[in-house]
Amino acid sequence: MDTIKLVINHVYDFVSEKEILQQADKATAANKALHDGSRAGNDFLGWVNLPSSCTENSIRDIEDAATALRTRCDVVVVVGIGGSYLGARAVIDALSSSFDWLQHERKDPVILYAGNNIGEDYLYELTKYLEKREFGIINISKSGTTTEPAIAFRILKDLLIGKVGKEESCKRIVAITDASKGALRTLANTEGYTTFVIPDDIGGRYSVLTPVGLLPIAVAGIDIRKLLQGAKDMEEATGASTSYEINLPAIYAAIRNELYKKGKKIEILANYNPKLHYFAEWWKQLYGESEGKEGKGIFPAAVDFTTDLHSMGQWIQEGERTIFETVLSVKEPKENVKIPHDEANLDGLNFLKGKRVDEVNKMAELGTLIAHMDGGVPNILIEIPKLSEYYIGQLIYFFEKACGISGYMLDVNPFNQPGVEAYKKNMFALLEKPGYEEATKAIKARI
């Protein structure tokens, strides 16, 4: 079986092979620490052996729940924020037809998202759309107390009960949350929803291969077994005893840390396939929340090329030289679209006649790589043979592993996110949430 590939020779104009190799021991030690649990955050390492430890029963339970929702619903709304929706959306967008949801005769339910913002218009428009549809809800929150999904769920649950009644609505709602703690657990137990548990030792942004990601992905008609197989093969290829030279996540982590040391403070994840937009959103959260702390961390940014070459291209080519680029390059598209011959050739495009659209895309990619390197931007390339469950599974585990290694190399705990609490505390104080009286007084004195 083929594998994703890491092309690293385009960084050597900026950091030497020798300098990167000096990071190898640190990267290998960090990888080992993820396996032996000897460093900070060791109570959140459940994702490390997750692909190889998924049982047949646990997979079948997810598939059965997916089938039940698929049978009853034309639309399924995934309610969740951050790690509780980005992984599912990344995989579903990467592997589904971009226009399927517009088709009247679909074989898979439409997957929509809510609870990932507090947009009133968004929720209004969503409820208007859902009023006329047979819909169900997958409500995901590890803590079971997050405000954004809680608001969306209350509104959508109300709509669903009003539409199909309490008994049927219970059959169309699945809750994914902690085994015992949190408001969502209490609600789910009281109402009798089907539930799945997010393991204690897996944080939100590492949870895509738990029911958090797998259930919505299975509802969308995507083969979760192949996804897990790809992740499992990557897990096996990156174990504690894998030597640095063949350990792709360790190599990626070593390079990005060396570039960071040299002042490259921003990593731009670029893709040349619009289906990967949400994969980059998932990656941004994974790296941003894992590394950005204690006044340190590479800032993870993302662009969709060639779209953003017409917006961010100028900055990347000639702006402050503090960036490096990691490119997700899909080798082979699924479909085949050729540019037709046009007798009149009024658009002057006949030099492209007979070529596949992807051939043009690949030349844009190569031309951009050379231009950006000439402009002082180091380039790491990740080659993905094709967009399939198997390779997306590999890619997910590759980035998770590299993130853990990178965080340890940076000397931070990659598995906490203390900074996320700051806005919540202020928001609750401003909303006068019970228990926040002191904070309310303090914040009101400042505004």
Verify binding: residue 51, ligand PA5, rule CB under 6 A.
no
Q: How far is the CB of 415 from ligand PA5 (least distance, A)?
A: 9
Verify binding: residue 89, ligand PA5, rule CB under 6 A.
no
Closest residue to ligand PA5 using C-beta atoms: 204
Strand partners, 302: 269
Whether cis (ω within 30° of 0) applies to the bond prior to 306 is yes
Over the window 272 to 311, marking each residue x when it contacts ligand PA5 by CB under 6 A and - when it does not, the resulting string is: -----------------x----------------------
- Residue entry with tokens 């997957």: 111
- Tell me the number of residues near ligand PA5 by CB under 6 A: 14
Per annotation, catalytic residue among 289, 325, 365, 389 = 289
47 with 206: CB under 8 angstroms? yes
Distance CA 217, CA 9 (A): 35
- Binds ligand PA5 by CB under 6 A, chosen from 81, 114, 250, 259: 81
Verify binding: residue 204, ligand PA5, rule CB under 6 A.
yes
Residue closer to ligand PA5 by CB (options 203, 216) is: 203
- Binds ligand PA5 by CB under 6 A, chosen from 23, 84, 194, 326: 84
Q: How far is the CB of 74 from ligand PA5 (least distance, A)?
A: 26
Q: Any catalytic annotation for residue 310? A: yes
Distance CA 292, CA 413 (A): 10
Q: How far is the CB of 203 from ligand PA5 (least distance, A)?
A: 5
For residue 318, the Cα-to-chain-centroid distance in whole angstroms is: 29
| Rg of the chain (C-alpha set) | 23
Span 408-427, contacts to ligand PA5 by CB under 6 A: 417
Q: Any catalytic annotation for residue 10? A: no
Stretch that binds ligand PA5, among 81-89, 98-106, 251-259, 428-436 (CB under 6 A): 81-89
Pair of tokens at residue 316: 């990347």
135 with 76: CB under 8 angstroms? yes
Span 107-166, contacts to ligand PA5 by CB under 6 A: 141-143, 146, 149
Q: How far is the CB of 209 from ligand PA5 (least distance, A)?
A: 14
Give the CA angle between residues 148, 291, 10 to the nearest 5°.
Answer: 120
Q: Give the SS3 label for residue 182.
A: coil
Give the residue among 197, 184, 150, 157 at the shortest CA–CA distance from 173.
157
- One DSSP character per residue, 112-168 reads EEESSS--HHHHHHHHHHHHTS-EEEEEE-SSS--HHHHHHHHHHHHHHHHHH-HHH
Per annotation, catalytic residue among 310, 335, 343, 421 = 310
Residue closer to ligand PA5 by CB (options 146, 238) is: 146
Q: How far is the CB of 89 from ligand PA5 (least distance, A)?
A: 13
Q: How far is the CB of 63 from ligand PA5 (least distance, A)?
A: 23
Where do runs of H (alpha helix) occur along 11-55?
17-21, 24-36, 50-53
Helix (H) or strand (E) holding 402: helix 389-409
Give the residue among 314, 326, 323 at the shortest CA–CA distance from 286.
326
115 with 151: CB under 8 angstroms? yes
Q: Any catalytic annotation for residue 424? A: yes
Pair of tokens at residue 103: 């088709």
**Span between the terminal Cα atoms of the chain, in Å:** 60
Verify binding: residue 365, ligand PA5, rule CB under 6 A.
no
Q: How far is the CB of 348 from ligand PA5 (least distance, A)?
A: 48
Stretch that binds ligand PA5, among 7-15, 160-168, 198-206, 344-352 (CB under 6 A): 198-206
Residue closer to ligand PA5 by CB (options 149, 378) is: 149
93 with 110: CB under 8 angstroms? no
Verify binding: residue 41, ligand PA5, rule CB under 6 A.
no
Catalytic residues: 289, 310, 424
Binding site for ligand PA5 (CB under 6 A): 81-84, 141-143, 146, 149, 203-205, 289, 417
